[in-house]
Structure 1
Amino acid sequence: MRSIWRGSISFGLVNVPVRVYSATESHDVRLHQVHGEDGGRIRYQRKCEVCGKVVAYEDISKAYDDGDRTVVLTDDDFSALPAEQAKEIEVVEFVPADQIDPIRLDKAYFLEPEKSALKPYTLLRRALEDTDRSAVVTFALRQKTRLAVLRVRDKTLLLQTMLWDDEIRAAEFDILDQVPRVSAKERDMASQLVESLAGDFDPGEFTDDYQVQLRQLVEAKLEQGDTLDTSATFGEKDEDGEGAEVLDLMEALRRSVDKSKERRKTQKKASGESSGQKARKKA
């Protein structure tokens, strides 16, 4: 991994030099725009409205227009801002971990300590673990002041940027002011459905079906070209599935519970057979 930023965490008089790395990456199949007739790549050109010339990316500057005047801001202008020069992740306060609403969370970054900072880095990590708190921090990255939360993930400090208060919309739906009558039987059946699907979250059990199928489609088209039969590749579409049937709420809940129980039995049986096969191989 390549670090995208270097700075330091400051809490009280303690300073912890760190390197910042992106904690996530996309697994999407990369697609390009092409001309459908001949497959030629579509390229976008940045043209100046004044001189009509194509402008290279490195020659493009940002500007603010108030309607009457335009102020051009260069990279040197941005780098001169005190916040941009700070290179400091300042701890503002330590808050209970459960007070951070997940809706605020944005991009995640791993923080790696410099060799000389391993002890204070470890001390901060253990302090967060011992108190079950997260650190609310501010810092500047890519020409923006960021609000973020600093928390522990395994042996690493994880920095996760947060949305500002005015960036989160309020959910104002008039229909929710109406309170429909929900019977005790319906609530009981809904609880049974929740229990039938209860478990411990394991992200490794989930796959991005769309990307898997897209890769399958790309590989099939590479082999067969435009003669590809998608029904042979993916199977026929189910036009008359059970989902099209109109069910009342109680019946839908009842069928869902039964279906979930049946699925659990199948998974348990498959898991038992898999364990038995591994045991026989060892023997």
Structure 2
Amino acid sequence: MPELPEVNALVEFLDREMAGAVVAGMEVGSFSVLKTFDPPIDSLAGLAVTGVTRHGKFIDIDVDGIHLVVHLAKAGWLRWSSAFSETRIKMGNGPLAARVRLDRGDGPHEGFDITEAGTRKGLAMYLVNDPLDVPGIAALGPDPLVGGFDLRPLLARHMQVKRLLRDQKIIAGVGNAYSDEILHAAKLSPFALADTLADAEISRLETALHDILSEAVEQSRGKPAAELKDSKRTRMRVHGRTGEACPVCDDTVLEVVYSGSSLQYCPTCQTGGKPLKDRSTSKFLK
């Protein structure tokens, strides 16, 4: 799933590539992808792109006051092209969800596709006059890389810290992968309860949250969309590394599978050497 650093890189890429372009049209390849009906998609035609910004994991393309908002969900991605054919995309069940064509005066030959792999469809696109009309954006918590962000008040909740980090209504932009990395760097169990953390643990978590995301943003910056997924995978220290050696202590990275997802952690670094039990036993280490 694209998270804050990858979405940030996509936003910067689009902002560069779309500067000065006019939208020639938008085509939808899936009935389910577009969540709004007003403004209609043909209202974009002939309007200039005026900027691209990020809200958490949402991409916001401002087209002369109409906002095309994209949430890539778990399996969505963006693919840029400088050589589209004139053939319009067709409705179907394939991975191509939408196409946006751009024109710089020489015809609608460039732009981007939005794709989604797999059968579980979560990709969402919106056309709105105000980004806050998108429910997910209106409900977002604070962005951890925006000045003035304060983690401590957000931890006053009786919930597992892993779940808290991933809750977009509490903190915007962090998902499964980076929450694993942040908790590993902070030396915290993913099942530690947020409202029971000691001051030293909170300080480590604050530092890890900022440093892991800032480093990932810088390492993603300037990379083309096609390279971002592999770049993310190579940076992970524990996420997706089940059975491999922890780069800090050389212990074996372990995994917990739950609710159709999974997390990875290092027992030595995070849980005092004890393995966490999965939900099938209902025994969680704190």
Find the structure with the greater CA-based Rg: 1
TM range (shorter): under 0.3
RCO higher in 1 or 2 (8 Å CA, sep ≥ 6)? Answer: 2
TM-score where L is the length of structure 1: 0.20
Bigger share in helix: 1
